[in-house]
């Protein structure tokens, strides 16, 4: 599932490519992906200008001149492609938005959604989300305050969107590896020094992942940024491979039906 770095990469690229553009047509292949009848969805979007592409956690927000906001959550298997009618991918898009000759294809939204909401509805929908890990206001002091109220396993907390917004399976494991802490540790056992390492690793890993475009496939033809972090993952989805730090095999386990990847030798 796309996480904070992937959605932030999408946000930056889409703002650059179609920000300020006007929606000239819509096509809905799967009605369950949207929250309105297709005719009403199309009517409200037609000739509406995209004023801003924003992000909150794992969500993208497409702010429109009308005051409405398109809220996107890709969930498992979802991805975007920006192209033309000629270079579209050979698979079905659940929704397509046209910006003149540029078409934004929403693929893989069997579990994800694209909902058209008012600003009030957006605030209500996103209110339960926790703080943004890369927000300048999210200081180490604020992080320790969050940790003080938690008794759960570390990975379980990191992927809890109500506790922190944007981190999922991949980056929880990558952050814990960078901090040399096992993701299966319980939070009350973390020393102050380990808490500092964890906070620093969170900032470092997420920032680096954004810089290298996350792990998704290219957003458009010629996109050399998106997906660049995939080969830089240290432990996630690398079970059995040698640890890049100590050479011991990376172990794959399961925690509450979630895959966990870690090095039992150099993570403690």
**Residues 75, 213: Cα–Cα separation, whole Å:** 18
64: left (phi over 0), alpha (psi -120 to 50) or beta: beta
Active site residues: 2-3, 58, 258
Tokens of 149: 């109220």
Neighbouring CB atoms inside 10 A of 92's CB total 11
Identify each DSSP E strand in 90-202 by its residue range: 93-99, 102-107, 113-117
Q: What angle do CA 205, 208, 211 make, to 5 degrees?
A: 150
Tokens of 264: 């039992």
**Residues 214, 228: Cα–Cα separation, whole Å:** 6
**Residues 8, 2: Cα–Cα separation, whole Å:** 10
């Amino acid at each position: 599932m796309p996480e904070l770095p992937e959605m932030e990469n999408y946000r930056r690229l889409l703002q650059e490519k179609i920000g300020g553009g006007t929606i000239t047509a819509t096509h809905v292949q799967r009605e369950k992906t949207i929250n309105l009848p297709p005719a009403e969805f199309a009517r409200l979007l037609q000739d509406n200008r995209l004023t801003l592409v924003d992000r909150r956690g794992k969500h993208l927000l497409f702010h429109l001149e009308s005051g409405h906001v398109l809220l996107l959550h890709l969930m498992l298997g979802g991805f975007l492609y920006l192209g033309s009618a000629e270079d579209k991918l050979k698979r079905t898009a659940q929704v397509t938005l046209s910006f003149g000759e540029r078409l934004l294809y929403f693929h893989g939204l069997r579990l994800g959604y694209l909902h058209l909401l008012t600003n009030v509805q957006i605030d209500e929908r996103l209110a339960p989300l926790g703080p943004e890990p890369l927000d300048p206001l999210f200081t180490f002091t604020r992080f320790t305050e969050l940790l003080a109220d938690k008794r759960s396993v570390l990975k379980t907390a990191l992927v809890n969107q109500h506790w922190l917004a944007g981190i999922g399976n991949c980056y929880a494991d990558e952050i814990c590896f960078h901090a040399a802490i096992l993701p299966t540790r319980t939070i009350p056992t973390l020393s102050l020094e380990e808490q500092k390492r964890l906070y620093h690793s969170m900032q470092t890993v997420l920032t680096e992942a954004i810089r290298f475009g996350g792990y998704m496939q290219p957003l458009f033809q010629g996109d050399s940024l998106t997906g660049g972090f995939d080969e830089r993952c240290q432990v996630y989805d690398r079970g059995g491979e040698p640890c890049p730090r100590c050479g011991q095999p990376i172990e794959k386990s399961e925690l509450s039906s979630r895959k966990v990847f870690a090095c039992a030798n150099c993570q403690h």
